[in-house]
Each structure stands twice: as C-alpha cells, then as structure tokens.
C-alpha cells in the first residue's frame, strides 16, 4: 500500500512540474563541485547549508587580470584567511586601497553572468579553488600566482601558485607585485 502511495505522489509531482503547477526555486537547486554556477562560473565549494545567506562558492570562468597589484603597500588591513571571509576582506581592501589595476577593484567591478557580487577570495577560498578546480584540471587557470584578499603583513599579501608543479603552495608577496586575479561569488 505504501509503495502505491509513493508512486502516486511521485507521478503527481512529475505532472505538476511538467504542467507548471509546481516549481523548484533557485534556493532548492543542488549544485555540484566542478559544475556551472548561476553566473556561468565554476562551483568549487559547498558548505552544506545556507547559514549566513550562502551555501556555494563559484569562481569566475576567466581571470580578471594577470598583472594586478594588491595595493596599500604600507597599510595594515585586518583581513582573515578562512572560507567565508573573502567578501568582507574585499570590502576592507576597497575601503583603503581601491584603484585602477588593484585586485579587489577588478573583482568588485566584474559583472560576469550579469551579477555584481563578485569579490577577491580569501586565502582558504583560493586554496579550495585550487584543490577542487585547478588540481583536477576541471578549469583552466594561468600558470601564475593568484592574489587572495588575505594580507600577510603591512608589506605583503597572500598568493597561491597555480603553476603546473606548484601543489598549491601559498606564498606571501609584496603588495605592489603584479599577479593574476580570479573573482568568486557566494550564493544559495
């Protein structure tokens, strides 16, 4: 009897979806690591819940620059490195260092997929991007160092190597050196 009720329920749902009586909202959609995100980028992180207003991280499908600077070479900015802090880090960097060819500015001004909520990833977000997209060759990256939004002292900020033999080493570099930039965004 239970099997018949389940089959009837499933068939009813299928008819409802096919004829418009039921819709799946974007918030209910499940994305997979390595799959396309709603802004045309690549999904590289799923935290498993929507606490804090987001569940997934998506990397832009292309670089926003290859020789961007981090900016503010003599300014200490209290950034963090954990997953989920890239957006707030970017806001802090923009407050003090916004300008032409600054990594955070390039990310904030990016409008890929018609979205305006892109930002420079934190160090741990960049590590996840390297591990989930670059290391398995799911997405093309430049054989370069990429900026994170995480400061590594007054003079320096954290970068990560996406070179072919890098193993994802993170390295602090001077804020005025030119490196690659890849924006990310968080969404439900």
Q: Which residue has the tokens 């749902």?
A: 13
Rama region for 58: left / alpha / beta (φ>0; ψ in -120 to 50; rest): beta
* pLDDT at residue 28, rounded to an integer: 65
Percent of the chain at pLDDT exceeding 90: 74
How high does pLDDT run on average in the chain? 87
* pLDDT at residue 167, rounded to an integer: 72
Q: Which residues pair with 180 in a beta bridge?
A: 146
Q: What distances in angstroms separate CA 165 from CA 56, 142, 168, 178, one per listed residue?
A: 28, 13, 8, 20
Q: Which residues pair with 57 in a beta bridge?
A: 45, 186
Contact 138, 34 (CB under 8 A): yes
7 has pLDDT over 60: no
23 has pLDDT over 60: no
Residues 6+ apart with CB under 8 A from 128: 44, 45, 57, 83
What is the pTM assigned to this prediction? Answer: 0.84
The string of DSSP letters for 25-44 reads -GGG----TTSB-TTS-EEE
Higher pLDDT, 172 or 125: 125
Q: What is the pLDDT of residues 40-74, one digit of tens each?
A: 999 999 999 999 999 999 999 999 999 999 999 99
Q: Extract the tokens encoding 92.
A: 């802090």
């Amino acid at each position: 009897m239970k099997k018949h009720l389940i089959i009837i329920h499933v068939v009813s749902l299928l008819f409802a979806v096919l004829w418009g009586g039921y819709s799946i909202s974007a918030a209910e959609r499940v994305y997979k690591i390595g799959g396309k995100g709603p802004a045309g980028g690549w999904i590289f992180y799923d935290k498993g819940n929507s606490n804090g207003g987001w569940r997934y991280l998506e990397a832009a499908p292309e670089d926003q620059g290859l020789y961007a600077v981090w900016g503010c070479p003599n300014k200490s900015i209290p950034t963090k490195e954990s997953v989920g802090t890239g957006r707030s880090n970017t806001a802090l960097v923009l407050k003090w260092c916004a300008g032409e060819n600054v990594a955070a500015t390039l990310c904030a001004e990016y409008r890929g997929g018609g979205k305006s909520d892109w930002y420079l990833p934190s160090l741990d977000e960049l590590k996840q991007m390297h591990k989930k997209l670059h290391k398995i060759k799911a997405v093309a990256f430049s054989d370069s160092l990429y900026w994170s939004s995480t400061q590594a002292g007054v003079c320096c900020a954290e970068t990560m190597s996406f070179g072919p033999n890098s193993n994802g080493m993170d390295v602090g570099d001077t804020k005025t050196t030119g490196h690659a930039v890849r924006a990310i965004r968080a969404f439900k």
